């Protein structure tokens, strides 16, 4: 702000931000409200105008609201989506001034000093804001004043405009809650007879400080402009996208790869500056006939090395139909992850990077989700001692320690004809007659009683490692509670 310029602040309050966001996408007629679970009870979170006219209010139990208004239509609140929508509104508000910040979870604050004349003055600017927001289906209350506190008070308690330098006359009839005080302090001030901001401004400051501390007078002084309060604009998140417009159309795969390499070098420099790595990359190729084709690359690990990423694009770019030529290339990292800088040393293993590149290359053909690895699980049940997870989204683990050996080939139990608690000397399995040469065991495993599993209804299992004369090394178990023998695995 230039020296001597009168500061002017606009506060935009969206009292029905969450419900308006939903109704913009799914228009409904009649009373509507979003619900949220609080203290083990489903309560109303945000209502539209029709629901408010029916006597419903925020925080009301859902069951009581349905009793008052049987026609009430509801949906679950999505707080992260509401915040993303507020961020979109913040970016939209930059059209009026560069200094735009968030005001709670349902408001914006704008420092419009020196920019109102662009829209025909303050009145024209506020009319333009209101008209655009109404066309977007959003209800808004607007306050304009010299200070952030006064603008907030006017937006939330008596929508209006305070003339420059006239903060107290514009605020003196508003309740003390308009000073952004907590509910407990506002109630205590009201009980003392200080119901309006004018009453509070006329009260002895020393008594207020002794009774309520410095916060009450600080909020009053901020609203009246006697204490500064800054507006901290939020920086836009970094955008990981680069573009190249070509003077002449290209069509050869080698030319497209060369252009993609130049874009990768620029993009990876941005990623390195932010210590981020790309997980999903997309190349958009615009043809001279304005048609577009997109080639997506999903990586097994976050990367920012252009020389490792470029060969992975070759198969996808080779299948692009260039038509009459491509005149623009655009590369964007649509999904990124943190990738801190690592210390370079001779002890780093390059085999892991080669494996990640192999997984990425195979994933472009069959899908990253179809390349899986086994991970250890915390269970003594053989069938539950491992999980299968996509290799691109997990790290290999080494917690496979077991006091007893386990077979590499594990299959559902297959019954065999035998009796007694000791392994049979001869038995038939998979149309083969086998003779026991050596048996090691038993290892008793009890079922996990807290989990429902039909295959363990027979109770305890006594496992034996049986080496047959024919060379097969099998894993057998006996169920003493429901006598029977089964084969469940085979050792190499």
User: Which residue matches tokens 């009774």?
Assistant: 211
What's the confidence (pLDDT) of residue 344?
A: 66
The whole-number pLDDT of residue 448 equals 86
**Separation between Cα atoms, residue 4 and residue 274, nearest integer Å:** 38
- Per cent of the chain over pLDDT 70 is 96
> In this predicted model, which residue has the larger pLDDT, 38 or 472?
472
Sheet holding 426-429, edge to edge: 409-416, 485-490, 473-478, 461-468, 432-445, 426-429
The torsion of the CA quartet 145, 148, 151, 156, rounded to 10 degrees, works out to: -170
Tell me the pTM: 0.60
Give the angle 237-241-245 at the CA atoms, nearest 5°. Answer: 145
What CA–CA distance (Å, rounded) separates 488 from 411?
Answer: 5
For residues 170 and 149, the answer to whether their CB atoms sit within 8 Å is no
Nearest Cα neighbor of 178 from 163, 159, 165 is 159
pLDDT band for 3, please (50, 70, 90 cuts): very low
Mapped onto helix, strand or coil, the DSSP state of residue 328 is: strand
Q: Is the pLDDT of residue 34 over 70?
A: yes
Helix (H), strand (E) at residue 473: strand 473-478
Distance of alpha carbon 337 from alpha carbon 281, whole angstroms:
12
pLDDT band at 451 (very low <50, low <70, confident <90, very high): confident
pLDDT, tens digit, for every residue of 206-227? 988 888 889 999 999 999 988 8
Average confidence (pLDDT) over 232-243: 82
**pLDDT tens-place string over residues 98-136:** 889 899 889 999 999 888 888 989 999 999 999 999 999
Q: Determine the Cα–Cα distance for residues 374 and 56; give it in Å rounded to an integer.
A: 54
pLDDT at 96: 93
Q: Which residue has the tokens 């619900």?
A: 35
What pLDDT band is residue 453 in, cutting at 50, 70 and 90? confident
Q: Alpha carbon 399 to chain centroid distance?
A: 30
For residue 297, what are the β-bridge partners?
281
How high does pLDDT run on average in the chain? 89
Give residue 299's pLDDT. Answer: 93
Q: Residues 89, 110: contact at Cβ < 8 Å?
A: no
In the predicted model, is pLDDT for residue 337 greater than 80? yes
pLDDT tens by residue, 346-357: 555 556 778 888
**For residue 376, what pLDDT is reported?**
86
* pLDDT value of position 1: 44
Handedness of CA 217, 223, 225, 227 (dihedral sign): positive
* Residue 283, H or E segment: strand 276-287
Question: What average pLDDT does range 323-349 have in this prediction?
Answer: 84
**For the residues 68-78, what does the mean pLDDT come to?**
91
Angle between helix 17-25 and helix 79-93 axes, rounded to 10 deg: 90
Q: Which pLDDT belongs to residue 20?
A: 92
pLDDT in tens, 240-251: 999 999 999 999
Note whether 32 and 23 are within 8 A (CB): yes
Cα 169 to chain center, whole Å?
45
At 2 the pLDDT is: 42
Q: Could you report the per-residue pLDDT of 267-317, keeping only the tens digit for each? A: 999 999 999 999 999 999 999 998 999 999 999 989 999 999 999 999 999
């Amino acid at each position: 702000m230039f020296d001597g310029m009168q500061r002017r602040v606009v506060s935009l309050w969206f009292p029905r931000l969450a419900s308006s966001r939903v109704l913009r996408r799914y228009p409904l007629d009649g009373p509507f409200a979003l619900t949220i679970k609080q203290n083990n009870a489903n309560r109303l979170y945000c209502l539209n105008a029709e629901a408010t006219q029916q006597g419903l209010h925020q925080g009301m139990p859902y069951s009581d609201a349905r009793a008052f208004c049987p026609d009430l239509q509801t949906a679950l609140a999505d707080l992260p989506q509401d915040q993303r929508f507020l961020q979109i509104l913040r970016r939209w508000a930059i059209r009026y001034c560069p200094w735009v910040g968030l005001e709670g979870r349902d408001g914006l604050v704008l420092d419009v000093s020196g920019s109102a004349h662009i829209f025909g003055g303050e009145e024209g600017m506020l009319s333009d804001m209101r008209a655009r927001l109404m066309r977007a289906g959003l209800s808004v209350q607007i306050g304009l004043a010299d200070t952030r506190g006064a603008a907030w008070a006017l937006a939330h308690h008596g929508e209006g405009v305070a003339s420059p330098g006239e903060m107290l006359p514009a605020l003196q009839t508003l309740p003390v809650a308009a000073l952004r005080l907590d509910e407990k302090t506002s109630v205590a001030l009201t009980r003392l007879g200080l119901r309006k901001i004018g009453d509070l401004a006329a009260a002895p400051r020393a008594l207020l400080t002794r009774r309520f501390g410095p916060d009450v007078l600080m909020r009053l002084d901020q609203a009246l402009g006697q204490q500064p309060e800054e507006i901290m604009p939020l920086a836009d998140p970094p955008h990981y996208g680069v573009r190249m417009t070509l003077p002449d159309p290209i069509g050869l795969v080698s030319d497209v790869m060369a252009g993609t390499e130049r874009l990768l070098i620029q993009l990876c420099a941005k990623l390195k500056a932010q210590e981020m790595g790309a997980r999903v990359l997309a190349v958009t190729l615009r043809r001279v006939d304005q048609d577009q084709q997109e080639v997506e690359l999903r990586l097994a690990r976050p990367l920012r090395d252009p020389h490792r990423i470029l060969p992975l694009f070759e198969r996808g770019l080779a299948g692009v139909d260039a038509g009459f030529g491509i005149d623009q290339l655009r590369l964007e990292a649509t999904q990124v992850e943190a990738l801190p800088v690592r210390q370079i040393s001779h002890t780093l293993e390059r085999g892991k990077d080669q494996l990640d590149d192999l997984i990425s290359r195979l994933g472009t053909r069959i899908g990253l989700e179809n390349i899986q690895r086994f991970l250890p699980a915390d269970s003594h049940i053989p069938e539950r001692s491992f999980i299968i997870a996509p290799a691109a989204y997990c790290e290999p683990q080494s917690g496979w320690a077991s006091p007893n050996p386990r077979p590499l080939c594990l299959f559902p139990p297959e019954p065999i004809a035998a009796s007694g608690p000791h392994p049979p000397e001869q038995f038939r399995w998979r149309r083969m007659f086998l003779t026991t040469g050596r048996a090691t065991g038993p290892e008793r495993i009890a079922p996990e009683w807290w989990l429902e599993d039909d295959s363990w209804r027979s109770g305890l299992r006594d496992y034996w490692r049986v080496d047959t004369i024919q060379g097969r090394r099998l894993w057998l178990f006996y169920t003493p509670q429901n006598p029977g023998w089964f084969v469940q695995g085979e050792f190499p």
